[in-house]
Amino acid sequence: MDWEDYGEIAEALYKLYPKAPLITMSDSELIEKVIALPGFTGEKQPPSDRYASFILNKWIMIRESGTSTVDDSPFV
């Protein structure tokens, strides 16, 4: 898994932290959770600040829908 794998990362985070306070989660807290994921091989910092937003938005969508569907588009 790398930073571009928004859907896969969001799904893994949802499974590990189903009740995490997403609205108040800081980018630095999200980044810490991402780099600690088993199988994450990306750099310790995302290539841009947008990656944290993409992942968080996808995580929120998965939580709200109650389904884990991997789609790497941050806008789906």
> How far apart, in whole angstroms, are the C-alpha atoms of residue 37 and residue 41?
9
Taking alpha carbons only, the member of 62, 53, 65 closest to residue 27 is: 53
Task: From first to last of the 76 residues of the chain, give the pLDDT tens digit.
Answer: 999 999 999 999 999 999 999 999 999 999 999 999 999 999 999 999 899 999 999 999 999 987 665 555 554 4
pTM: 0.84
Structural domains of the chain ordered from first start: 6-65 (1.10.10)
Cα-Cα end-to-end distance for the chain:
19
Dihedral sign, Cα of residue 55, residue 60, residue 63, residue 64: negative
